Amino acid sequence: MKVLSFINQKGGVGKTTTALNVGAALSLCGFECLLVDMDIGDLSQSAGFTEIGDDEPTVYEVLKGGDINAAIRSHDGRYDVLPSDIRLSAGEIDFANDKKRNTLLRAALGKLSKSYDFVIVDCPPSLSVFTMIALSAADEVIIPVEAQYLPLSGVSRVVDTINLVKSRFNPSLDIGGVVLTFYDGRRNLDGDVLDALSGYFGDKVFKTTISRNTKVAEAPSHGKDIFEYSPTSKGAKQYRELAGEIARNMKPQKRK
């Protein structure tokens, strides 16, 4: 099982959309995937889980010691989601003084009754308690970066956070890859950003880039991934290619 945390400490870079659609694409490739929402409901709503009852467990209850298997929901039998909602925001206070907080998600994943090839964790767009918990549970980190100057300038802070978690809590943590989002090859700036990322991260930068795409932007408002909403779109093709790169690079043991 590979645990991949998707992180960028700046919002609006396509992090949640990329986490959802990579998970969906990997499931279409035959991998068993669990998507974990650590971003207070964004991924859950994008996957169609818009109404979660107060008596229904979420990732918040799981981190508090609840049964992870009881909280997981199936998305049309294709992939599973460990959802969250506004309850997670209380965790900033609840877990702040918990000395074991960084082990909570890792421990919960160790109690899964179903075997998964990939666990995709959508992190908050900030350096929060939940970011640290997610990175402490991860094997590798995927960093979506928007093809703009300011998002590029913030990447060093993301790397600093990864290195902090690696040195203190999770020595096996590594950067699995960097994906450029909202990319337009016709613009000089986009090419400059791609060159800068390649110069910094080398072959960690995925060959697949994700373009600005109307269908990809519309899909979450319908509670669907891009393969449900517009399977023949350019965005669907690009996310299939990105998932293929991830699968080849990380070589999980595919379940029969």
Give the CATH superfamily of 2-250. P-loop containing nucleotide triphosphate hydrolases (3.40.50.300)
pLDDT at 252: 58
Phi, psi of 78 (to 5 degrees): -95, -45
pLDDT at 47: 96
Domain spans, the chain: 2-250
Phi, psi of 170 (to 5 degrees): -145, 80
Question: Do the beta carbons of residue 47 and residue 20 sit within 8 Å?
Answer: yes
* Burial state string for 33-68 with b = 16 or more CB within 10 A and e = fewer than 16: bbbbbbbbbbbbbbbbbeebeeeebbbbbbbeeeeb
* Tokens 């694409």, residue located: 25
**CB hemisphere CA count around 150 (13 angstroms):** 5
Instruction: Give the 3-state secondary structure of 159-228.
Output: HHHHHHHHHHCCCCCEEEEEEEECECCCCHHHHHHHHHHHHHHHHHECCCCCECCHHHHHHHHHCCCHHH
Sheet containing 118-122: order of strands: 73-75, 79-82, 33-37, 118-122, 2-6, 140-146, 174-181
pLDDT at 242: 98
Residues pairing with 82 in the sheet:
36
**Residue 88 token pair:** 């997670």
pLDDT at 154: 78
pLDDT tens digits, one per residue of 66-105 = 999 999 999 999 999 999 999 998 877 888 788 889 999 9
Question: Which regions of the chain are under pLDDT 50?
Answer: 254-256
Question: Do the beta carbons of residue 205 and residue 197 sit within 8 Å?
Answer: yes
pLDDT at 68: 98
